[in-house]
Amino acid sequence: MTDDESGEVAVQQNGQETAIDAPGLEGQIHVDLDGEHPTLHIPSKVSVGYWDDDDVDDEAVAADGGTTTRREIEMRGFGLQEEHANIGLFLAVVLLAASGAFLGSPVASSGLAGLAMLAGGVFVGYVSVRSRWSDPA
């Protein structure tokens, strides 16, 4: 494998794809869970092993025969941390209040600036609200 080749492991579920860089892999391993049956696409040079649910303990089986702890990552909303979402909500309120002041101005350029602030406030507020108060999936 040359330096410019790199592999990737990707999982597609609910229309979203999550990928992890795998420099030691030549090609891409792709798991598609959106179809009627789960589909796995692997490069031809990858060895494949199969096991039944009865063969596996509660712990995940690692490739070397050992076990590893399982990590689960949960994403909700747009993935902003709570502190960042709160800052975004404050910024959205400031932008919306300022847009009201600018939209009331008789000067055309102030009205355009007010529309830009209004659009920015709505966007930042939407992203922040989805991140702050969305239910975990």
pLDDT tens-digit series, residues 25-65: 888 888 888 888 888 888 888 887 776 656 555 555 555 55
Distances (CA, A) of 121 to 20, 35, 85, 97, 110: 34, 38, 13, 9, 16
Does 56 share its domain with 88?
Answer: no
Does 16 share its domain with 55?
Answer: yes
Whether the model pTM is above 0.75: no
Number of domains comprising the chain: 2
The predicted structure's pLDDT at residue 89: 95
The predicted structure's pLDDT at residue 19: 82
> Is position 27 within any domain?
yes
pLDDT tens-digit series, residues 109-132: 888 899 999 999 999 999 998 888
> Is position 119 within any domain?
yes
Does 63 share its domain with 86?
Answer: no
Of the candidates 76, 73, 99, 90, which has an alpha carbon nearest to the alpha carbon of residue 125? Answer: 90
pLDDT tens-digit series, residues 65-85: 555 566 666 665 677 788 898
Tell me the pLDDT band of 2, cut-offs 50, 70 and 90: very low
Buried b (16+ CB within 10 A) or exposed e, 43-53: eeeeeeeeeee
- Range of 29's domain? 7-68
Helix, strand, coil percent content, the chain, rounded in steps of 5? 35, 20, 45
> Is position 77 within any domain?
no
The predicted structure's pLDDT at residue 76: 59
